[in-house]
Structure 1
Amino acid sequence: MLPRSFYDRDTVVVAQALLGKLLVHRVEETPRVGRIVEVEAYLGPQDLAAHSSKGLTPRTRAMFGPPGHAYVYLIYGMHHCMNVVTGAPGTGTAVLLRALEPVANLAAPANGPGRLCKAMGIDKSHYGHDLCSEDFYIAEADDASPITIVTRPRIGVDYAGEWAARPLRFYIEGNPHVSRK
């Protein structure tokens, strides 16, 4: 598993470094594993697309907590999404995991943040979970090969004004599991 220091860095650096890493969740002793192929960076309270732009609330508490924890929330009343908290406590920064390439024990597609959580068995019970744990973590891939990173604006944040166009979405070029090109 990745050390806490991996997450305690600049959010854009962490977002790009997460590409190619493995998300592992043990469900009933069976490890579900997916390679992270698409992410989006959210840069704290000044970023109008970030949930933390509303300040510290019961919903965003995990985003303002220590790095290396999961910020899981529900969208449209039915889909869970997972972010990885980054930076120093209090900064409200995180990286949304948008898509996984199935590696082991994923029976459903994981291209899109809601599908990713469904395939991995992630829900609100994982809110604030420490990603430096034995049952739910991110790890280096054994077969890590060089990747080319594509940079694009984030998806679905048109309400965020100038922040909507910022190039804060990253994915592995040519990977067929990316949610949208």
Structure 2
Amino acid sequence: MSNIPQTGQPAPNFSTPDQNDHLVSLDHFSGQWLVIYFYPKDDTPGCTTEAKDFTELQPEFNVLGAKILGVSPDSGKAHCKFIDKHNLSITLLSDPEHHLIEAYGAWRLKKFMGKEYMGVARSTFLISPDKIIAYAWPNVKTKGHAQAVLTKLQELSAVSNPKIS
């Protein structure tokens, strides 16, 4: 787990296709907050819950100037089906070669029913407008997670942008 970016470190750069095969890179989000979350597979129960929760809260993230990116090894075509089926409004990035997933330390040894295998560990990173890891959740449980990320973003954006009274 030592390769997981830590709070205060520069966010690993990336350039990865989204569900529509448009290249998305960290540089596209200069000057704004970014939530990037990693999940194992489209259209599975936990991943669907997480994507729907982020979609539901997206207007609140937008108010704070934050964009949301979900990343999995699934193809763009699979992402499009997932988005259509669940009416998702977030951007999903396709990383079948695990370059982005590995850069953020989300490709890890996992255990299921006594078997060990390499896979995507559900994890989330909040990246500040200056491309620094503002907060990391290396081991995510889906229930309530999107709300926890929004709450942390609200705290951090209030600190970096105090209201003038």
TM-score normalized by the length of structure 2 = 0.29
Higher relative contact order (CA 8 A, sep 6+): 2
TM-score normalized by the length of structure 1 = 0.27
